[in-house]
Structure 1
Amino acid sequence: MEESQKIRLGISIGDINGIGCEVVLKTFEDARMLDFCTPVIFASNKTITQQKNDLGIDLTFNGVRDASQAVEGKINIVSVWKEVPQIEYGQATKEGGAYAIQSLKAAVQALKEGTIDVLVTAPINKNNIQAEDFKFPGHTDFLAQELKGESLMFMVADSLRVGLLTDHIAVKDVAQAITPKLIRNKVVTMEKSLKMDFGIRRPKIALLGINPHSGDNGTIGEEDDKILKPTIQELFNKGTLVYGPYSADSFFGSNTHKNFDAILAAYHDQGLIPFKTLSFGKGVNYTAGLDKVRTSPDHGTAYEIAGKGQADESSFKEAVFTAIQVFRNRTEYLELTKNPLQKQKTRRAS
């Protein structure tokens, strides 16, 4: 990307029967957003036009065949399909899932090819996206396959950052899934992301326990003592500032989380319930650890309000800003680590 160019931000529209298109359109209804990036929506002119008319949103679009043709100062649309799909707001249809996947695949391909710089994904329905060529529980698992790196589901809202050891698996499978190798991989990925993507030089990471009260010295399960504690000690001895395991029930309520740059939760709800409670709908889901930047809002398809014009675009807008900032931080980090001597010369010259 040339220095003078704005970041080219790709958008997959999610389920066409949910609030995905609405939060995208409302975000860029604010013309100032075009000062920060060049949006490229992967859908079709006709579908987006129908959505904006249904919602009473006044926007104009620029149709392009390929993301590389996107024009700065305009909302660009790459037409992934030519037909006009039937939109059934609030309904989890097979067609809604199929178009969500078409949009996602086209956007990810553009990301891999470098015709967009970052990707922001609108919400999908994990049930109706399932197909012969798409058997993933969500965005994160698909992106982990398509892009290089070790993925980490990382929820961020200002200084609050919560990652997950395990994400979309059943609670009954959590303890068995958590191994020393998994802990090492996730902690290393989190530490690298905090340095590279968030500009934190010496990040401090807290690990939450698997069992209530972190097992209470083996009284309520042995996993914390036998798996978490030795692995945390091993990582700490190698120079990673990782601490724990902490009892999850009081960790956030006592504000202990404010002493750390990030928290690694053992499983989905252990991390996301406090995160969403504290972030008030402005949180962002960031897929850390991959060679490309992808974010999404922290909410789902919200079928119950789809098509009614009631959706709040705050989280999607935050996802846009987070993607832009992470991309800038990462670009700067990679430049400086490639040529650390240049950094020293620049400082001396100034």
Structure 2
Amino acid sequence: MRIRQIGPSDPLFDAWAQVFMTVGHEQWGKHTTAYPADELRAMWGKESETRHAFVAVEGEASCDDDAVGGAADIQDDGVDTAAGVVGAAELVLPRRDNTRLAFLHLDVLAPARRRGVGSALLSAAEEIMQDEGRTTVLVETQTPVGQPDAAGAFLAARGFAQAQTCVRNAQRLPVSDAVAAQMRAALAFDDEYVVETAVDDLPSQWLEERARLGAMMSTDTPLGDVAIEPETWDAARVHELFDTARAQGRRVVEAVAWHRPSGQMAAFTHVSVPAETPWIAYQDDTLVDAAHRGRRLGYRVKAAVSLLLAQVAPGVEVQRTWNDETNTHMLRINSELGYEREGTMIEWQKRLA
């Protein structure tokens, strides 16, 4: 067994991505949230972060024939041994903010589990984190309702603690006639707010306000015990968000609520639809400015997107969202919109120093 560090042009990159996809399909079938190789490849090279990828390759001698990989055995010679790839890890290091933090995604194919593969991948990633001065690492696990969190048990045994629990909800599209009628009635309500939508890009005059609300996602939403510092957002970061989606081949739909008297953007929701899985829409972020809460703006922007998806992405069968389990207000809105719980996402956290 050997741990290799690879990049997006490496012959092993597709096999690396396929590990995440295979494990995701085991749990969720066609509704896995794992990204295909082309989408992951398009996420490399962003100015706001650095990415590292590791594969565990079976059937190769390591520097120590009795060892199961590890940081000392990392290779980057690009030898095409895709058939032997049994584990994968991705490490994301923010550069614009949260520079003491690292995000890790790690999966091992079922036949190779309980053989030290996951531990070897984790060790290799942690060495990079320590070299980069990262002190905290976060890993997400997602499990369907009624299933055990086997990946979480692996992490707990290696020093990770649960930092946040989120509800994974899904809205089946198209919504019922009754729900659609309620959505249209809410959007027709005449008050100080107006809801507008945009597809695949934002008007330039929206960017400053959109960046202001984007920064609030790290300060004004429930985060449990996750050690997230306030994020820095500006027009360039909003542009990068949409540029990455275009490179991935995703359709993006945003709905925003404007407060007409002040000209402030009061709420937004951001939804994307992958080209390779066009039956899934991801509701990535939704936020209502605290100064404008209590006006049903979260419901309205979410309703606007659900109705618009039928026009711009008619193949979407399900819209998926995640919310902290303590965010009862947004969970209630989701229920009114027809969302149903399908699983749990746990954010696991480990302090390295």
What TM-score do the two structures reach when normalised by structure 1? Answer: 0.28
What TM-score do the two structures reach when normalised by structure 2? Answer: 0.28
Give the structure with the larger strand fraction.
Answer: 2
